[in-house]
């Protein structure tokens, strides 16, 4: 809530991973009433949706909605089709091209639904935990993509066309390393023990420890000089 007592709402994309948890904490810190949005898109790591629920609750989101959207119908990714998740890749390998876990147009789809929800809520602020530093090379995590979506949002909506406000896509993590994200999340009170990062979890959501997402997470905690509370629990 702002000083004037007016509720400022934001829609926050929440995957259940540590980046989006930190983005939610940033939105809360900035004074927004947070409406968290997750997708059940046929991801093999659907376990992350339980994590998203726990994170939304622990960071006092006003609401958490899980939208069913079965992207397996269009396939094309190791996360939604019968393609192996790459394992044990080095930092150099991760830096070389776009991996099989890329889900075609995923952030475009997620942001478009978030935009629709924002419009029904009277909100103009969207948060997404994309990161262009310690990331997996996805095209839709880059600042150019975010800027293009901001332009689109204004033209795509009744609220934008009627000039009721200016849509803004907030990317508080875009220029942070994974270690910096973890430190910042800690400062903001994120319980990383509630988050889930693994692309290819075993029974009970146990992380594989070898996919890009597990490796980036482990490296981030190591560089931040912190223990990963999710591992401590596991």
- Kindly list the residues in this chain that would bind its own copies in the complex (CB under 8 A): 65-71, 73-76, 98, 102-109, 111-113, 115-117, 119-120, 139-140, 142, 144-145, 148-149, 151-153, 155-158, 160-162
3-state SS class at 126: strand
Q: Which residues of 127-162 are buried (b: 16+ CB within 10 A; e: fewer)?
A: bbbbbbebbbbbebbbeebbeebeebbbebbebbee
**143 vs 189, which CB is nearer to its own copies?**
143
Q: Quick check: 64 and 52 in contact, CB under 8 A?
A: yes
Q: What is the closest distance, in whole angstroms, from the C-beta atom of residue 160 to its own copies in the complex?
A: 7
Q: What is the closest distance, in whole angstroms, from the C-beta atom of residue 109 to its own copies in the complex?
A: 4
**32 vs 149, which CB is nearer to its own copies?**
149
Q: What is the closest distance, in whole angstroms, from the C-beta atom of residue 224 to its own copies in the complex?
A: 30
Q: Quick check: 207 and 214 in contact, CB under 8 A?
A: yes
**91 vs 98, which CB is nearer to its own copies?**
98
Q: What is the closest distance, in whole angstroms, from the C-beta atom of residue 173 to its own copies in the complex?
A: 19
Strand partners, 12: 36, 127
**150 vs 191, which CB is nearer to its own copies?**
150
Distances (CA, A) of 86 to 50, 71, 89, 133: 24, 20, 7, 20
């Amino acid at each position: 809530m702002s000083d004037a007592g007016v509720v400022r709402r934001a829609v926050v994309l929440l995957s259940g991973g540590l980046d989006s948890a930190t983005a939610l904490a940033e939105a809360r810190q900035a004074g927004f009433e947070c409406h968290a949005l997750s997708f059940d898109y046929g991801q093999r790591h659907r376990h992350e949706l339980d994590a998203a629920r726990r994170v939304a609750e622990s960071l006092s989101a006003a609401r958490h909605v899980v939208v069913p959207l079965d992207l397996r119908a269009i396939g094309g990714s190791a996360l939604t089709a019968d393609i192996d998740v790459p394992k044990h890749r080095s930092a150099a390998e991760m830096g070389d091209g776009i991996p099989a876990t890329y889900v075609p147009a995923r952030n475009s789809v997620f942001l478009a639904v978030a935009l629709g929800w924002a419009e029904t809520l009277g909100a103009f602020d969207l948060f997404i935990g994309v990161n262009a530093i310690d990331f997996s090379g996805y095209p839709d995590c880059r600042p150019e993509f975010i800027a293009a979506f901001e332009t689109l949002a204004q033209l795509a909506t009744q609220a934008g066309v009627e000039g009721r406000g200016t849509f803004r896509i907030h990317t508080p993590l875009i220029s942070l390393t994974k270690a910096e994200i973890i430190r910042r999340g800690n400062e903001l009170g994120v319980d990383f023990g509630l988050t889930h990062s693994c692309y290819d979890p075993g029974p009970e959501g146990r992380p594989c420890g070898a996919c890009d997402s597990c490796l980036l997470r482990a490296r981030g905690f190591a560089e931040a000089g912190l223990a990963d509370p999710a591992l401590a629990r596991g």
